[in-house]
């Protein structure tokens, strides 16, 4: 930070640039880059370079599409070229001489629309020639690919990362083999014959690279805007939350099925766009254009640029495409000339293009060993902390308010908040919960204690739906919640923290908080992309709400709003996790050893907060090992041992309970 | 030939092929069992092994046009070629582990698997650039002796493949079940940290696992060379994926499962090729791969692979 500021100080121009707000700076940069890209073909470059650039845009599109799947949602797809193929063959088959169905009157409306023609054949029935509009097929290709994305993605939902990769690899292999074997549809290894070039208002794109250059640029610009907007939206945050910790994402109300399928569909749709564009430009398609090495090449682009970094992926895809199409050829010329000069036959004949895949392999290995975040990782601007902020002291007795809180005096509600009956869970022969009956009253602080392995965390897992129960019923405000999925239980008002903190480590404090708000926001992918006023408003309110919750922790978290949570201290990560749980606006908050790893002063501060939350109407169930804390803060205490509830009552009663002492200290030998 | 004879013939072919897939699948399964890594580099270690064997045979003076050997010369040459190739691929596996995979061991997510894809590309293209893209004939040093079982014939090379394969598998079985190293391997597979605490040198165990797995792939690569009579830079991917499917079918991480899976895939390939056209073989095998992973991730025998939280 220091070097940057001193440099800025010496350069007034840079200082002025930095004074412009970030969003405005980005807009200015985008306009400049777009203007440069638009001017590129008119700078007197060789037309072959314009052609190379148009092809490069195809790969940028593919890389951006794969980035949605791999970078945002963290799903390693090794068969991504399959969608490139499906898009290409969709347009290819709908606008070439490949399919020649027999004429029937059913085709008449399409003739009227100008999408097909009736062609007479000598001595045989007439046939239909398809020439569907490129623009229409661009949409259709993207939609068909999205459907295939869901079809290929659905079987992988329950699989772990590496198995998922293999299944996608399998689909990626099957698609080109089908393209090779289904000759009626694809013309097999011969390639599609005579795919039509696009037309726009009577202008035929033909075979000059220029129109494709602009079309490709337009598609890339579209994909960039879509990617950036998705990334900074409710949808993007849900993807990143799943990528970072699927279980915790579920506990925050993110449905992993929904968002994984959405990522597969959107990634595939972008691949489909690239396929339609590429086949129209090339006017043919063969199965070899879509095999495993192509999938790997796209993956290399994403890995080199930085998974999840839109900017990095675009740069890497451009560089690697030009490496393939132009740079290696030109270098070969120089190397060969050098070889002739120094009389080295090997150098004189060397063809560098043959080493392209070797270069890909080297890039993959080097990046994984030395720079896994990519060459241009997503920018994260972190504001430096003042000395005062860094040295925050524990503060006690601050008044807390939450605008949405609904404080009710304890015991005002006649009906218990949570009722558990006969809850049982077995792991093999061990009962981690053995017909537990438990009632949590609205507005109380209930502590669950017990020796290690007594089933406390299992109880939380059962209540929050993270572990399936073997028997028993759980009701929240009289409504059965046992059997619901984790994210549905959160939506009904039960939030939790984890014993071993489960934050989304690469996201900032604010982003973690906003994932907590997930169930309260409405924006879907379209809302994320178009950002209508409704979406902007809900995002603004979400940030306000996050700040309000973070304010409960005084100056602990607010100064660190933009910091990635992996860099926070242990206590601050605990606080962030609690804050994230409060973000879901729970009626019932389950805290699993919140004070673990905190010093006594921090623990007291935390317990003040717990009491304050209760005054705001949030009922709290606490698992805690620090018994002095438990005795001080709890209204009631429940003791578990070997999955059985052995005692329940006021702290004082429990402390003197014979069974409890036995469970903790062991059975006393008694005289017979 | 009657339908039964055709079936019998494909059964014989399938078992011989299956031995090759089984040897390759063992390498996948051992590495997965111990560090939960799907090792794409294994494909290309196998491919490189065919070239180690080929270069050695060429160095011994045997080329594609050499005649078959008999008697002691055959046994001696085979023994030498198998031992040298297996040691060479074994060492290649060790280098890959030491240089590329150890630094990413324990990195969560997909980084280790992506690394192995990179290593695979490096090996394939190194062979391509140094030895050229042409298909190379493999010396036919095994005599073309055939016996009839009914109407089906079984060749000497098939018999040799099955015998060598069985010997290697029994050796591996002995090593894993009855030696200290085997015990250390099984312990590491169950829980690496606990094994460390008990004094197992986990790094050494992993290195040896890579050595053994890659050496078996080396044996498999000679099977390929002698059976098909050629090699080329591109052969690793298809054969490797079929072998990987074998490992998945038998339950990845499960050593006897890999052998059964290999035999099954060999049979599916030879019998399936008979029932449908050969061009559909890959679609069948990849469909099996996907269906097993999705519906029975633990493999046909349902043996739980070691799970690490």
Provide ipTM, 2 decimals.
0.90
- Put simply, whether B119 touches A (Cβ < 8 Å) is yes
CA dist list (Å): A450 to A45, A607, A622? 76, 20, 12
Contact A326/A342 with Cβ under 8 angstroms? no
Q: How many A-B residue pairs are in contact by the CB < 8 A criterion? A: 113
Which residue of A173, A362, A372 is in closest CB contact with B286? A173
Name which residue leads in pLDDT, B105 or A21. B105
- Per-residue tokens: B80: 């030498």
The predicted structure's pLDDT at residue A294: 92
Chain A residue numbers touching B113 (CB-CB < 8 A): 76, 162, 165
**Among A646, A592, A591, A645, residue whose Cα is nearest residue A619:** A591
Name the band, by pLDDT with cuts 50, 70 and 90, for residue A262. very high
**Among A274, A301, A98, A82, residue whose Cα is nearest residue A195:** A98
Q: Which of A27-41, A95-109, A310-324 has the lowest mean pLDDT?
A: A95-109
pLDDT over 60 (residue B242): yes
pLDDT over 60 (residue A73): yes
3-state secondary structure of A95: coil
- Put simply, whether B130 touches A (Cβ < 8 Å) is no
How do residues A365-406 score in pLDDT, each as one tens digit? 999 999 988 898 876 656 666 666 666 555 555 566 777 777
Name the band, by pLDDT with cuts 50, 70 and 90, for residue A3. very low
Q: Which residues, numbered 242 to 271 in chain B, qualify as contacts with chain A under a Cβ-Cβ cut-off of 8 Å? A: 244, 248
Which residue of B114, B125, B282 is in closest CB contact with A357? B125
CB atoms within 10 A of CB A19: 9
How do residues A466-479 score in pLDDT, each as one tens digit? 888 999 999 998 89
How do residues A279-291 score in pLDDT, each as one tens digit? 999 988 888 889 8
User: pTM, whole model, 2 decimals?
Assistant: 0.89
Chain A residue numbers touching B38 (CB-CB < 8 A): 162, 165-166
- Beta strands (DSSP E) in B39-110 are none
The predicted structure's pLDDT at residue A668: 55
State the DSSP string of A316-357.
HHHHHHHIIIIIHHHHHHHHHHHHHHHT-HHHHH--GGGGHH
How do residues A185-208 score in pLDDT, each as one tens digit? 888 888 888 888 888 887 888 888
Say whether B121 and A358 touch across the interface (CB within 8 A).
yes
Name which residue leads in pLDDT, B106 or B233. B233
- Per-residue tokens: A200: 């726009």
Closest approach of A427 to chain B, Cα-based (Å): 15
Chain A residue numbers touching B290 (CB-CB < 8 A): 155, 167, 170-171
Closest approach of A526 to chain B, Cα-based (Å): 29
The predicted structure's pLDDT at residue B309: 31
CA dist list (Å): B38 to A292, A343, B241, B247, B302? 16, 46, 11, 11, 19
B224-260 burial string, b = 16+ CB within 10 Å, else e? bbbbeeebbbebbbebbbbbbbbbbbbbbbbbbbbbb
- Put simply, whether B109 touches A (Cβ < 8 Å) is yes
**Among A501, A509, A663, A492, residue whose Cα is nearest residue A592:** A501
- Per-residue tokens: A225: 């805007």
Name the band, by pLDDT with cuts 50, 70 and 90, for residue A100. confident
Greatest mean pLDDT among A303-307, A376-380, A411-415, A602-606 lies in A303-307
The predicted structure's pLDDT at residue A203: 85
The predicted structure's pLDDT at residue B211: 96
pLDDT over 70 (residue A534): yes
Contact B263/B25 with Cβ under 8 angstroms? no
Say whether B294 and A354 touch across the interface (CB within 8 A).
no
Name the band, by pLDDT with cuts 50, 70 and 90, for residue A652. confident
Preferred mutation among B113, B121, B281, B298 to probe A, highest tally of A CBs within 10 A? B121
pLDDT over 50 (residue A672): no
Name the band, by pLDDT with cuts 50, 70 and 90, for residue A138. very high
Which residue of B125, B282, B290 is in closest CB contact with A361? B125
Name the band, by pLDDT with cuts 50, 70 and 90, for residue B307. very low
- Put simply, whether B67 touches A (Cβ < 8 Å) is no
Average model confidence (pLDDT) across chain A: 87
CA count, 13 A, side-chain hemisphere, B89: 34
DSSP 8-class letter at B304 = P
Which residue of B36, B100, B124 is in closest CB contact with A369? B100
Chain A residue numbers touching B306 (CB-CB < 8 A): none
Which residue of A76, A169, A365 is in closest CB contact with B119? A365
Preferred mutation among A79, A173, A346, A354 to probe B, highest tally of B CBs within 10 A? A173
3-state secondary structure of A432: strand
How do residues A81-90 score in pLDDT, each as one tens digit? 999 999 999 9
Contact A197/A207 with Cβ under 8 angstroms? yes
How do residues B192-215 score in pLDDT, each as one tens digit? 888 888 888 899 999 999 999 999
CA distance B265 to B273: 12
Q: Which of A497-506, A596-605, A663-672 has the lowest mean pLDDT?
A: A663-672
pLDDT over 90 (residue A304): yes
Contacts (Cβ under 8 Å, ≥6 apart) of A394: A601, A602, A604, A605
Contact B12/B261 with Cβ under 8 angstroms? no
The predicted structure's pLDDT at residue A385: 66
Name which residue leads in pLDDT, B66 or A334. A334
Q: Helix A256-282 crosses helix A47-66 at what angle (to 10 degrees)? A: 160
Q: Helix A134-153 crosses helix A256-282 at what angle (to 10 degrees)? A: 140
- Start-to-end CA distance of chain B, whole Å, equals 55
Which residue of B107, B113, B286 is in closest CB contact with A170? B286
Say whether B289 and A166 touch across the interface (CB within 8 A).
yes
How do residues B127-152 score in pLDDT, each as one tens digit? 999 998 899 999 988 888 888 877 88
**Percent of chain A residues past pLDDT 70, beyond the cut:** 93
Provide mean pLDDT across the span A53-74. 95
Name the band, by pLDDT with cuts 50, 70 and 90, for residue B278. confident
Chain A residue numbers touching B280 (CB-CB < 8 A): 181
The predicted structure's pLDDT at residue A300: 95
Which residue of B111, B125, B293 is in closest CB contact with A368? B111
Name the band, by pLDDT with cuts 50, 70 and 90, for residue A149. very high
- Put simply, whether B71 touches A (Cβ < 8 Å) is no
Residue of A nearest to B308 (CA): A160
- Write a three-state SS string for A12-73: HHHHHHHHCCHHHHHHHHHHHHHHHHHHHHHCCCCHHHHHHHHHHHHHHHHHHHHHHHHHHC
Preferred mutation among A82, A178, A328, A361 to probe B, highest tally of B CBs within 10 A? A361
Contact A209/A219 with Cβ under 8 angstroms? no
């Amino acid at each position: 930070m220091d070097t940057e500021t001193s440099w800025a100080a010496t350069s007034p121009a840079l200082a002025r640039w930095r004074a412009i707000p970030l969003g405005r700076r980005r807009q200015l940069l985008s306009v400049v880059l777009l203007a440069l890209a638009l001017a590129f073909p008119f700078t007197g470059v060789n037309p072959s370079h314009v052609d190379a650039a148009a092809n490069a845009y195809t790969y940028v599109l593919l890389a951006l599409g794969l980035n949605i799947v791999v970078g945002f949602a963290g799903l390693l797809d090794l068969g991504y070229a399959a969608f490139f193929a499906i898009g290409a063959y969709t347009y290819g088959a709908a606008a070439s001489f490949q399919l020649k169905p027999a004429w029937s009157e059913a085709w008449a409306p399409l003739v009227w629309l100008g999408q097909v023609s009736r062609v007479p054949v000598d001595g045989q029935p007439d046939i239909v020639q398809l020439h569907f509009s490129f623009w229409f097929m661009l949409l259709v290709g993207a939609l068909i690919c999205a459907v295939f994305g869901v079809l290929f993605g659905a079987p992988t939902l329950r699989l772990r990362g590496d198995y998922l990769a293999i299944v996608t690899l399998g689909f990626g292999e099957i698609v080109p083999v089908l393209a090779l074997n289904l000759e009626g549809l694809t013309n097999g290894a011969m390639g599609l014959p005579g795919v039509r070039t696009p037309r726009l208002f009577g202008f035929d794109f033909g075979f000059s690279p220029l129109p494709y250059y602009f079309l490709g640029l337009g598609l890339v610009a579209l994909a960039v805007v879509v990617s950036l907007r998705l990334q900074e939206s409710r949808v993007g945050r849900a993807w990143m939350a799943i990528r970072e910790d699927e279980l915790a994402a579920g506990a925050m109300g993110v449905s992993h099925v929904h968002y994984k399928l959405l990522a597969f569909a959107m990634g595939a749709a972008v691949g489909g766009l690239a396929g339609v564009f590429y086949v129209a430009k090339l006017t043919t398609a063969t199965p070899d254009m879509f095999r495993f090495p192509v999938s790997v090449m796209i993956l290399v682009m994403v890995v080199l640029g930085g998974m999840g970094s839109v900017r990095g992926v675009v740069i890497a895809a451009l560089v690697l495409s030009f490496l393939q199409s132009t740079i290696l050829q030109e270098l070969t010329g120089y190397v060969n000339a050098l070889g002739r000069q120094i009389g080295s036959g090997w150098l004189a004949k060397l063809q560098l293009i043959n080493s392209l895949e070797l270069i890909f392999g080297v890039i993959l290995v080097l990046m994984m060993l030395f720079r896994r975040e990519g060459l241009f990782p997503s920018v994260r601007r972190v504001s430096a902390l003042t000395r005062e902020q860094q040295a925050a002291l524990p503060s006690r007795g601050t008044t807390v308010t939450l605008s949405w809180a609904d404080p009710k005096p304890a015991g005002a509600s006649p009906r218990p908040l949570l009722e558990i009956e006969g809850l049982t869970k077995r792991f093999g022969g061990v009962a981690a919960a053995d017909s537990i009956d438990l009632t949590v009253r609205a507005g109380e602080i209930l502590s669950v204690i017990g020796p290690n392995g007594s089933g406390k965390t299992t109880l939380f897992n059962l209540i929050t739906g993270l572990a399936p129960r073997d028997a028993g019923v759980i009701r929240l405000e009289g409504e059965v919640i046992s059997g619901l999925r984790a994210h549905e239980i959160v939506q009904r008002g039960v939030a939790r923290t984890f014993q071993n903190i489960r934050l989304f480590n690469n996201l900032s404090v604010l982003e973690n908080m906003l994932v907590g708000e997930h169930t309260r926001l409405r924006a879907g992918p379209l809302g994320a992309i178009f950002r209508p006023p409704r979406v902007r408003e809900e995002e603004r309110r979400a940030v306000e709400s996050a700040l309000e919750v973070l304010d409960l922790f005084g100056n602990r978290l607010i100064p660190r709003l933009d910091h990635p949570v992996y860099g926070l201290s242990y206590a601050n990560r605990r606080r962030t996790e609690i804050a994230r749980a409060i973000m879901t606006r729970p009626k019932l908050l389950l805290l699993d050893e919140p004070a673990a790893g905190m010093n006594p002063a921090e623990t007291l501060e935390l317990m003040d907060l717990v009491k304050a939350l209760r005054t705001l109407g949030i009922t709290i169930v606490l698992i805690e090992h620090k018994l002095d804390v438990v005795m001080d803060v709890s209204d009631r205490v429940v003791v578990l041992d070997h999955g059985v509830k052995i005692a329940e009552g006021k702290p004082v009663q429990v402390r003197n309970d014979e069974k409890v002492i036995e469970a903790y200290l062991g059975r006393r030998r008694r005289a017979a | 030939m009657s339908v039964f004879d055709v079936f019998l013939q494909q059964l014989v072919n399938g078992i011989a092929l299956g031995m090759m897939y089984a040897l390759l699948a063992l390498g996948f399964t051992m590495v997965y069992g111990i560090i939960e890594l799907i090792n794409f580099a294994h494909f290309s270690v196998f491919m490189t092994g065919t070239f180690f064997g080929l270069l050695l045979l060429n160095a011994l003076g045997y080329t594609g046009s050499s005649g078959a050997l008999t008697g002691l010369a055959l046994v001696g040459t085979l023994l030498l070629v198998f031992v040298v190739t297996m040691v060479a691929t074994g060492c290649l596996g060790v280098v890959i582990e030491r240089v590329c995979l150890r630094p990413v061991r324990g990195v969560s997510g997909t980084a280790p698997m992506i690394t192995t894809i990179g290593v695979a590309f490096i090996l394939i293209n190194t062979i391509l650039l140094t030895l050229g893209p042409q298909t190379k004939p493999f010396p036919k040093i095994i005599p073309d002796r055939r016996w009839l079982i009914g109407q089906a014939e079984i060749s000497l090379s098939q018999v040799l493949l099955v015998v060598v394969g069985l010997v290697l598998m029994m050796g591996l079985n002995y090593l894993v079940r009855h030696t200290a190293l085997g015990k250390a391997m099984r312990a590491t597979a169950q829980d690496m940290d606990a094994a460390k605490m008990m004094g197992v040198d986990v790094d050494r165990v992993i290195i040896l696992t890579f050595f053994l797995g890659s050496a078996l792939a080396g044996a498999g690569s000679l099977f390929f060379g002698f059976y098909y009579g050629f090699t080329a830079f591109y052969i690793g991917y298809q054969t490797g994926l079929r072998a990987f499917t074998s490992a998945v079918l038998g339950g990845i991480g499960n050593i006897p499962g890999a052998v059964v899976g290999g035999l099954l895939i060999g049979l599916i390939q030879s019998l399936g090729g008979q029932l449908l056209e050969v061009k559909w073989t890959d679609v069948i095998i990849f469909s099996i791969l996907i269906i097993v992973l999705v519906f029975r991730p633990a493999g046909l025998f349902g043996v739980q692979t070691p799970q690490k939280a």
